[in-house]
Chain A
């Protein structure tokens, strides 16, 4: 993998090639491998290695970006030329700020905990043979239960870096490992997924056993009518649905009037038991501690006891917000270290979501035991926004949907379509588990609890 020292050398070459007022260079890439299985067989097995250099130049308030994955002298000359040619024909952007220096990028009025290393040698050293061995064990569980399994076991190491002509240089390396397992029976299925920078914290066999148990126990699903009912959403289901609102926790989204929080900051929108932070330093979080301009990601309280407290800001967005009609209506305004790489039209968003634990956490088993009638949902699927201001989302349940009656699981039911307002959902949370690192397919990884939600709005039933 590219090292910080090698990247610094490339940056020096680029800086010498550029005639721009300012130059910023992003580096990203790494090694990634994924072993994919289906029908109890490894059917796809891939590996890649890449490194990308992304050059932004500035001429008198005009900026643009060019990207290449070639590092020879001629390619670097071309990528600088492309960036400069694009930048020179832009209209000056009055909101564009000088690039941050190291001091600005790191300074924080609120002390920020440092991010522990997210690079684990054992994860980086995973071989195709080790992944195949892991898959063999998963297939063994499927065979034992007379099921068919499909899934992935992936591993990789990555780097992310930023250098600019005002002396900023930041670098982050990380490893990652992920296991996702679906177990299929004749008319039912079960699913589990987990990931971590540290492969030692993954337990593929336990995930396989849980997925298999769900497939077996949801066999011969009954059709029960759609309607509003109590649901118990496992953490992956919570993550996938709540993830659709975090694009809106952005100063730019407020300025653009495309956020459901427009005019709602400072108001109680959710139940008092909902508190949400963005915290890259959380031990169960992952990712780099700096944003697309190299600014340190600060820990930001987004929701406190159901009240919308703050949104996040890139540097330029914060300046615009201070001068806008919303300037005195949105709480503290400061660069929070959540900006995307420039130039962009979306501004920023929080990417390290952490739900605060409730004072009285309940296990999923306790939630089931306290439910007279409801539905246990393992996973949600194909979630899309139906209405942007009340945040009505639609989607399906999938891979393990159970009827709960009289405090016990009563077997599988056919999958439902929901049309649910996130505002309503987060106002109707009756119980939560201890938040855990979770991953799904519709949203980014978060630290979220399982939730018991009343009056969740199922509108249709499908045929399986």
Chain B
């Protein structure tokens, strides 16, 4: 594919650009679902294409094409230059890129089992076994299960001399059991809601998740929710399981630290951020126990935000975001790094595919585990009165990322260090910094999971991206619970 990149770079250079990069991408995916004992959908998809991003007259242009013939590639490059020159008609200052030593590299997602080598029959059999387990529980009215595999091969080249080949592999799986009775629909999901668990690894993830082994318990919990009391309303100490905490991190830390949001670049759609530049290294984001990193390196784990290089050729890095509660860093790019006094991009630019522009995206934004040994059961035992909440059901946050509200699928009231009853429809709400400052306990490494969020939307045209979020269960003091159901 290097010849495709060279055609584009040469065509752009001949039109006087000051910078150009090219990405040629081949993407393959497989999606299998079952519903109530039947295959719901079965599809394979491939998409191949290239794009050219250029700086001309100090402004950006981008064009993408599925055609990889020389004529089409050169025309696409020319189009990107024309677009950049049109952009320059409405600019205040020239785009500045932080310097980056051009990398020549090869990187692959480590994996044990290529999921595309597992037969479709075997996958369908697994899904149907899960389905049968779920529906063996009386009261389950709908069972859904899914398996998803994705492989993306990308060749990146730039006018500065970068030449990077990456091959990323991701795997996802999950299921949900619904119980409809009376005037109520209750639902439980495993290992997480909205698609399950996703990681950048091979089929070994499916074997690790123990999907069949947990199906009956999940279905029984969905049915049990119908007999459970409504979660009480008021101020409570809450304990969040690691998957819910992963989403809490995503929404109330991951998005606010995106520097493009902070600088107003997303104001029309995704919104801005309360984390204005004056807050860097001055804002007490959370309690002393809050330590958050944005880590794209393989060493952090096989998250959906793990890679070798971002989509403008910057190597994966670990950025300290919150250190002992103090806000210390943003997610940045080559264009934005200078606005926070940095001389190098944080390496967070990623695009959904060959036809989309790279933009600042979360990598693996993770809450580091507590240093002292603490299991979830020990944390519950140390809680006098509170609500334990598990698995996200709804999520919403304002466009500056202050006010949030989350609903969970299931809760347990904790009294005297014991789970005393299941409660249904648990929810909590708050203001981001007040919430993180109320954290007083985080479980330790053996309770820590690197969750995948496969459905993060941002940008215009909208792009969906996978992000990673490591978390262990944690406790928050004096949180508002139940206002989601107040007045309804």
Given A50-B66, A90-B124, A345-B35, is A258 in contact with B488 using a C-beta cutoff of 8 Å? no
Q: Are A441 and B87 in contact (CB under 8 A)?
A: no
Quote the shortest CB–CB distance from A149 to chain B (angstroms). Answer: 9
**Which residues of A are found within 8 Å of B264, using beta-carbon distances?**
38-39, 148, 150, 184
**Number of interface residues, chain A, beta carbon within 8 A:** 98
Cβ-defined partner of A460 (8 Å) among B90, B91, B119, B429: B429
Q: Are A47 and B43 in contact (CB under 8 A)?
A: no
Q: Are B396 and A383 in contact (CB under 8 A)?
A: yes
Given A152-B268, A382-B396, A419-B485, is A93 in contact with B62 using a C-beta cutoff of 8 Å? no
Given A38-B267, A67-B43, A395-B396, is A462 in contact with B402 using a C-beta cutoff of 8 Å? yes
Q: Is B407 an interface residue (CB 8 A)?
A: yes
Cβ-defined partner of A262 (8 Å) among B121, B180, B269, B271: B180
Q: Is A212 an interface residue (CB 8 A)?
A: no
**Which residues of B are found within 8 Å of A35, using beta-carbon distances?**
86-87
- Chain-A contact segment, one of B44-52, B165-173, B234-242, B471-479: B44-52
**Which residues of A are found within 8 Å of B371, using beta-carbon distances?**
none
Q: Are A70 and B89 in contact (CB under 8 A)?
A: no
Q: Are B180 and A257 in contact (CB under 8 A)?
A: yes
Q: Are B484 and A419 in contact (CB under 8 A)?
A: yes
Quote the shortest CB–CB distance from A31 to chain B (angstroms). Answer: 10
Q: Is B486 an interface residue (CB 8 A)?
A: yes
Cβ-defined partner of A49 (8 Å) among B64, B87, B91, B93: B64
Q: A456's closest neighbor in chain B, by CB?
A: B487
Among B90, B141, B397, find the residue whose CB has the most chain A CB atoms closer than 10 A: B90
User: 1/0 contact trace for A255-272 toward B, CB 8 Å?
Assistant: 011100010000000000
Task: Give bound CA distance, A49 to B64, whole Å.
Answer: 7
Q: Are B49 and A47 in contact (CB under 8 A)?
A: no
Quote the shortest CB–CB distance from B92 to chain A (angstroms). Answer: 5
**Which residues of A are found within 8 Å of B84, using beta-carbon distances?**
45
**Which residues of A are found within 8 Å of B279, using beta-carbon distances?**
none
Q: Are B485 and A47 in contact (CB under 8 A)?
A: no
Task: Give bound CA distance, A135 to B268, whole Å.
Answer: 14
Given A39-B263, A46-B64, is A152 in contact with B43 using a C-beta cutoff of 8 Å? no
Q: Are A386 and B407 in contact (CB under 8 A)?
A: yes
Task: Give bound CA distance, A462 to B431, whole Å.
Answer: 8
Q: Is A82 an interface residue (CB 8 A)?
A: yes
Cβ-defined partner of B39 (8 Å) among A37, A91, A389, A392: A91
Quote the shortest CB–CB distance from A453 to chain B (angstroms). Answer: 14
User: 1/0 contact trace for A169-188 toward B, CB 8 Å?
Assistant: 00000000000111010000
Task: Give bound CA distance, A63 to B41, whole Å.
Answer: 9
**Which residues of B are found within 8 Å of A48, using beta-carbon distances?**
51, 63-65, 355
Given A42-B87, A49-B65, A345-B33, is A86 in contact with B42 using a C-beta cutoff of 8 Å? yes
Task: Give bound CA distance, A38 to B486, whole Å.
Answer: 38
Task: Give bound CA distance, A228 to B487, whole Å.
Answer: 8
Which residues 1-54 of A have a CB within 8 angstroms of B?
32-52
- Chain-B contact segment, one of A125-133, A159-167, A330-338, A431-439: A125-133
Cβ-defined partner of B396 (8 Å) among A86, A135, A396: A396
**Which residues of B are found within 8 Å of A128, using beta-carbon distances?**
61, 82-83, 86-87
Binding site secondary structure of chain A: strand
Q: Are A69 and B142 in contact (CB under 8 A)?
A: no
Q: Are A44 and B62 in contact (CB under 8 A)?
A: yes
Q: Are A34 and B43 in contact (CB under 8 A)?
A: no
Q: Are A132 and B86 in contact (CB under 8 A)?
A: yes
Q: Is B311 an interface residue (CB 8 A)?
A: no
Q: Are B267 and A384 in contact (CB under 8 A)?
A: no
Q: Is A387 an interface residue (CB 8 A)?
A: yes
Q: Are B60 and A460 in contact (CB under 8 A)?
A: no
Q: Are A386 and B62 in contact (CB under 8 A)?
A: no
Task: Give bound CA distance, A381 to B87, whole Å.
Answer: 29
Binding site secondary structure of chain B: mixed
Q: Are B483 and A46 in contact (CB under 8 A)?
A: no
Which residues 294-316 of B have a CB within 8 angstroms of A?
none
Q: Are A47 and B79 in contact (CB under 8 A)?
A: yes
Cβ-defined partner of B265 (8 Å) among A43, A95, A383: A43
Q: Are B394 and A386 in contact (CB under 8 A)?
A: yes
Quote the shortest CB–CB distance from A10 to chain B (angstroms). Answer: 14
Task: Give bound CA distance, A389 to B485, whole Å.
Answer: 13
Quote the shortest CB–CB distance from A76 to chain B (angstroms). Answer: 12
Task: Give bound CA distance, A191 to B63, whole Å.
Answer: 28
Which residues 228-286 of A have a CB within 8 angstroms of B?
228, 256-258, 262
Q: Is B460 an interface residue (CB 8 A)?
A: yes
Q: Is B185 an interface residue (CB 8 A)?
A: yes
Q: Are B265 and A50 in contact (CB under 8 A)?
A: no
Q: Is A428 an interface residue (CB 8 A)?
A: no
Q: Is A151 an interface residue (CB 8 A)?
A: yes
Q: Are A388 and B185 in contact (CB under 8 A)?
A: yes
Q: Are A151 and B268 in contact (CB under 8 A)?
A: yes
Task: Give bound CA distance, A419 to B405, whole Å.
Answer: 10
Task: Give bound CA distance, A344 to B120, whole Å.
Answer: 17
Given A45-B62, A66-B44, is A392 in contact with B485 using a C-beta cutoff of 8 Å? yes
Quote the shortest CB–CB distance from B280 to chain A (angstroms). Answer: 19
Q: Is A139 an interface residue (CB 8 A)?
A: yes
Quote the shortest CB–CB distance from A151 to chain B (angstroms). Answer: 4
Given A89-B120, A383-B396, is A257 in contact with B35 using a C-beta cutoff of 8 Å? no
Cβ-defined partner of A132 (8 Å) among B89, B124, B403: B89
User: 1/0 contact trace for B320-361 toward A, CB 8 Å?
Assistant: 000000000000000000000000000000000001110100
Q: Is A390 an interface residue (CB 8 A)?
A: yes
Task: Give bound CA distance, A36 to B485, whole Å.
Answer: 39
Q: Are B87 and A45 in contact (CB under 8 A)?
A: yes
The 6 A-B residue pairs with the shortest CB-CB distance, nearest first, are A345-B40, A128-B86, A462-B403, A150-B267, A257-B180, A67-B45
Interface residues of A (CB under 8 A from B): 32-52, 63-70, 79, 82-83, 85-87, 89-91, 93, 95, 127-129, 131-133, 135-136, 139, 148, 150-152, 154, 180-182, 184, 189, 191, 228, 256-258, 262, 343-345, 381-390, 392, 394-396, 398-399, 415, 417, 419-421, 424, 441, 457, 459-464
In the assembled complex, 15 residue pairs joining A and B whose CB atoms fall closer than 8 Å, in A order, are A38-B264, A42-B60, A44-B60, A44-B357, A45-B86, A70-B66, A85-B120, A89-B119, A93-B39, A128-B83, A150-B266, A256-B36, A389-B185, A396-B403, A464-B402
Interface residues of B (CB under 8 A from A): 33, 35-36, 38-49, 51, 59-67, 79-80, 82-84, 86-93, 119-121, 124, 141-142, 144, 178, 180, 183-185, 263-269, 271, 274, 355-357, 359, 393-400, 402-403, 405, 407, 425, 427, 429, 431, 460-461, 483-488
